[in-house]
């Protein structure tokens, strides 16, 4: 059985969990077994929200609803998930490689002595063992990782597989699990309000030092608002404090893998590319035709961002108006 950890935050199932379930369901199909989800903590409108996981391919949802799971503690979660794995007899466990997955999957691996493929980008190949393709060298290459243990753990890179909608409703099974005593107290949760979180965004508009100052960020924001995108920036921009550090992408910043990465006045240094090269489509606006970013781009305009960007925003508005 394939068990997918479906992470929730503040009572809502996280978006990446749907993708993880779609992925786990596909693995289950190949192995001729079922895909079941595991949810810890309080979920709003639980009966509908959990049954709806069937739409992504989960036949059953194991729900340990103890409110002690509402605040995250990797140690507490790991103990509970290990118990659920044992009780359900799962032999493949799927996580999303999110902040939660990165904290829990390695712990579970060490606890169960079950091999972990961290940051998977493809389905396991079971023709000869159990081999999972994962991203390495910050997206510049892939490694085929063989898992040798009876239980296999995979954490899937967000947006690497996509959400696959199906028909169906999942059976809900209450799981009587009590959290172990945790050692971490969550004091505050601060989410950036009103904007799409960068790590979850399907569309990202990003600005570089070529925009000359924070007062010119309307060139990034106008397009972002128009198409509902998140905003990002290069390290040079974050270092100059033009934009907050959480917007900085690249080798030493966040990594993103959106459907669209739209880079405005960013040179495309190799360390910047390391954080964005898993994007499906890359657009580059740069006045220098020799800018390295063009080599990594799918579409580009050689031109002055100050002139080009307002025109692009107008063109998008026109397209939307015409439907």
- Interface with ligand FAD (CB under 6 A): 208-210, 234-237, 250-253, 265-267, 269, 271-272, 275, 285-288, 291, 304-306
Cα–Cα distance for residue pair 224/305, rounded to 1 Å:
15
The two structure tokens encoding residue 132: 């999972």
- Of 1 and 283, nearer to other proteins (C-beta) is 283
Cα–Cα distance for residue pair 88/39, rounded to 1 Å:
13
From the list other proteins, ligand FAD, none, partner contacted by residue 286 (C-beta under 5 to 8 A by kind): ligand FAD
Q: Is 321 exposed, middle or buried (0-12, 13-18, 19+ CB in 10 A)?
A: exposed
From the list other proteins, ligand FAD, none, partner contacted by residue 127 (C-beta under 5 to 8 A by kind): none
Dihedral (CA of 149, 151, 152, 153) sign: negative
CB of 321 to other proteins, least distance (A): 12
- Of 104 and 256, nearer to ligand FAD (C-beta) is 256
Residue 26, helix vs strand vs coil? helix
CB distance 3 to 34 below 8 Å: no
CB of 81 to other proteins, least distance (A): 12
CB of 78 to other proteins, least distance (A): 6
CB of 294 to ligand FAD, least distance (A): 10
- Of 241 and 318, nearer to other proteins (C-beta) is 318
- Of 178 and 212, nearer to ligand FAD (C-beta) is 212
From the list other proteins, ligand FAD, none, partner contacted by residue 266 (C-beta under 5 to 8 A by kind): ligand FAD
Instruction: Write phi, then psi, for 196 (nearest 5 degrees).
Output: -75, 125
CB of 288 to ligand FAD, least distance (A): 3
First to last CA, the chain: 45
Cα–Cα distance for residue pair 15/13, rounded to 1 Å:
7
- Of 279 and 286, nearer to ligand FAD (C-beta) is 286
């Amino acid at each position: 059985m394939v068990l997918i950890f479906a992470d929730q935050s503040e009572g809502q199932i996280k978006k990446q969990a749907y993708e993880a379930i779609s992925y786990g369901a596909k693995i289950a199909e190949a192995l001729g077994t079922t895909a079941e989800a595991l949810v810890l903590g309080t979920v709003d409108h639980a009966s509908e929200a959990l049954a709806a996981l069937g739409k992504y391919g989960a036949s059953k949802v194991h729900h340990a609803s103890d409110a002690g799971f509402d605040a995250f503690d990797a140690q507490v979660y790991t103990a509970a998930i290990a118990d659920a794995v044992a009780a359900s007899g799962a032999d493949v466990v799927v996580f999303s490689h999110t902040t939660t997955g990165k904290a829990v999957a390695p712990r579970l691996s060490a606890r169960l002595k079950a091999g972990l493929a961290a940051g998977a980008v493809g389905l396991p190949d079971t023709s000869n063992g159990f081999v999972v393709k994962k991203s390495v060298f910050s997206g510049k290459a892939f490694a085929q990782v063989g898992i040798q243990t009876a239980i296999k753990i995979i954490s899937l890179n967000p947006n690497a597989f996509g959400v696959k909608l199906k028909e169906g409703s999942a059976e809900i099974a209450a799981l009587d699990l009590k959290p172990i005593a945790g050692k971490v107290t969550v004091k505050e949760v601060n989410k950036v309000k009103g904007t799409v979180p960068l790590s979850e965004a399907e569309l990202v508009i990003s600005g570089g030092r070529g925009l000359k100052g924070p007062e010119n960020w309307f060139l990034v924001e106008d397009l972002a608002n128009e198409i509902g995108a998140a905003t990002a920036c290069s390290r040079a921009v974050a270092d100059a404090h033009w934009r907050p550090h959480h917007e900085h992408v690249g080798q030493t910043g966040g990594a993103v893998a959106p459907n669209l990465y739209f880079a405005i006045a960013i040179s495309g240094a190799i360390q910047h590319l390391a954080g964005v090269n898993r994007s499906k489509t890359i657009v580059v606006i740069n006045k220098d035709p020799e800018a390295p970013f063009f080599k990594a781009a799918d579409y580009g305009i050689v031109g002055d961002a100050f002139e080009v960007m307002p025109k692009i925003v107008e063109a998008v508005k026109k397209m939307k108006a015409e439907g």
